[in-house]
């Protein structure tokens, strides 16, 4: 399978194009056509090699969860005419990401280990260790930076800076908790723990709607439920399904995205391992079998399916 590094389509009625870290985004009328490439990023850097099937995994998993949560919250997705493509309504993005955490992991764990007991205005209980479950999930928002790193921000600062109205923030917070609860239940049914995730919202016709992907390995962290308690009791690392292992490989090879650091060369074996892990996560999380497209020309397949959908 040829990995999809990028697309360069010229679609009928196209008015704009934007290339993100992972997605190529085409504007046609009031719709956005998002092509999930096989690019992979870590530490705010796009890695030099694309990962076969990664884009299809992300796109199909996001569509799966967006369809499964429409009863909770309206979302931007209209259709997915190709394994790598999502077509949806253009929304006005809210410049706040709603991060919700059920466990003391990742950024929250690093904050805690540094001795801090507050994150985004939320008090953290004493006596916790990494990967312990919070008494109840906490919401720790971040700003959505146009460039550079997102920054932690409290509910109070969001409202004080007028980033979103209080009415919309209350709605986003309620959606976030309900979506996380649904994601937690769906993960548990597959023997997994949804550890933390983020949601991005926008406005469409004056209403708050869910945008982008949800509950994918690029936006979420999963633990295996089996053996979780035993590993915690022994102080062992948790077995997880996320792209954290990519960050760990980069760190072990001397790269954390800091100035002066050189991106390590990714050998074929590691690229294949990443690909297989993404497929494993898709199948484990959704309970569905991932269909591998063996096409040598994914760009033509994708363009053809987009043209059929928009015509």
Q: Is this model's pTM higher than 0.75 or not?
A: yes
What is each CA distance from 17 to 60, 136, 187, 199, 304, in whole angstroms? 22, 41, 35, 23, 18
Nearest by Cα to 244 from 264, 275, 274: 274
pLDDT on residue 217: 81
**Whole-number percent of the chain with pLDDT over 90:** 84
Assigned fold of 14-90+279-310: Phosphorylase Kinase; domain 1 (3.30.200)
Reported as a single tens digit per residue, the pLDDT across 200-221 is: 999 999 999 999 899 988 889 9
Is the pLDDT reported for residue 58 higher than 80? yes
Domain with CATH 3.30.470.20 in the chain: 93-241
Q: Would you place residue 36 in the very low, low, confident or very high pLDDT band (cuts 50, 70, 90)? A: very high
**Whole-number percent of the chain with pLDDT over 70:** 98
Sign of the four-CA dihedral 72, 74, 77, 79: positive
- Give CA–CA dist 244/7, Å, rounded: 27
Q: Cα 153 from chain centroid?
A: 19
Reported as a single tens digit per residue, the pLDDT across 227-282 is: 999 999 999 999 888 787 898 899 999 999 889 999 999 999 999 999 998 998 89
Q: What is the dihedral of CA 33, 221, 210, 70, to 10 degrees?
A: 100
Domain with CATH 3.30.200.20 in the chain: 14-90+279-310
What is each CA distance from 155 to 124, 136, 170, 172, in whole angstroms? 15, 17, 10, 11
Tell me what the pLDDT averaged over the chain comes to: 94
pLDDT on residue 1: 67
- Please compute the mean of the pLDDT values over residues 117-138 and round it to a whole number: 97
Q: Which residues of 176-195 are buried (b: 16+ CB within 10 A; e: fewer)?
A: bbebbebbbebbeeeebbbb
- Please compute the mean of the pLDDT values over residues 114-128 and round it to a whole number: 97
Q: Would you place residue 180 in the very low, low, confident or very high pLDDT band (cuts 50, 70, 90)? A: very high
Q: 93-241 has which CATH code?
A: 3.30.470.20
- Please compute the mean of the pLDDT values over residues 292-302 and round it to a whole number: 90
- Give CA–CA dist 108/114, Å, rounded: 10
Is the pLDDT reported for residue 150 higher than 80? no
pLDDT on residue 296: 84
Q: Would you place residue 146 in the very low, low, confident or very high pLDDT band (cuts 50, 70, 90)? A: low
């Amino acid at each position: 399978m040829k990995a999809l590094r990028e697309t360069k389509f010229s679609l009928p009625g196209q008015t704009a194009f934007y290339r993100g870290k992972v997605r190529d985004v085409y504007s046609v009328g009031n719709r956005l056509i998002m092509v999930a490439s096989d690019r992979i990023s870590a530490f705010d850097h796009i890695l030099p090699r694309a990962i076969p099937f990664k884009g299809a995994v992300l796109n199909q998993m996001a569509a799966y969860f967006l369809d499964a949560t429409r009863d909770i919250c309206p979302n931007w997705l209209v259709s997915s005419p190709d394994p790598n493509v999502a077509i949806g309504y253009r929304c006005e993005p809210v410049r706040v990401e709603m991060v919700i955490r059920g466990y003391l992991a990742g950024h929250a764990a690093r904050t805690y280990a540094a001795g801090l007991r507050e994150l985004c205005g939320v008090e953290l209980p004493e006596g916790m260790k990494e990967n312990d479950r919070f008494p109840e999930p906490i919401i720790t928002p971040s700003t959505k930076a146009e460039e550079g790193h997102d920054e932690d921000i409290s509910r109070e600062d969001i409202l004080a800076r007028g980033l979103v109205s209080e009415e919309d923030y209350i709605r986003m917070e309620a959606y976030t908790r309900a979506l996380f609860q649904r994601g937690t239940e769906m993960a548990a049914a597959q023997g997994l723990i949804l550890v933390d995730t983020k949601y991005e919202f926008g406005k469409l016709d004056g209403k708050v709607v869910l945008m982008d992907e949800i509950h994918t390995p690029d936006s979420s962290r999963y633990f295996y439920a089996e053996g979780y308690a035993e590993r915690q009791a022994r102080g062992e690392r948790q077995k997880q399904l996320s792209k954290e292992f990519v960050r760990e490989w980069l760190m072990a090879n001397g790269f954390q995205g800091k100035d002066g650091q050189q991106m390590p060369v990714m050998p074929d074996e590691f690229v294949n391992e990443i690909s297989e892990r993404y497929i494993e996560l898709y199948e484990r999380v959704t309970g569905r079998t991932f269909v591998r497209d063996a096409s040598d020309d994914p760009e033509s397949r994708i363009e053809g399916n987009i043209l059929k959908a928009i015509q």
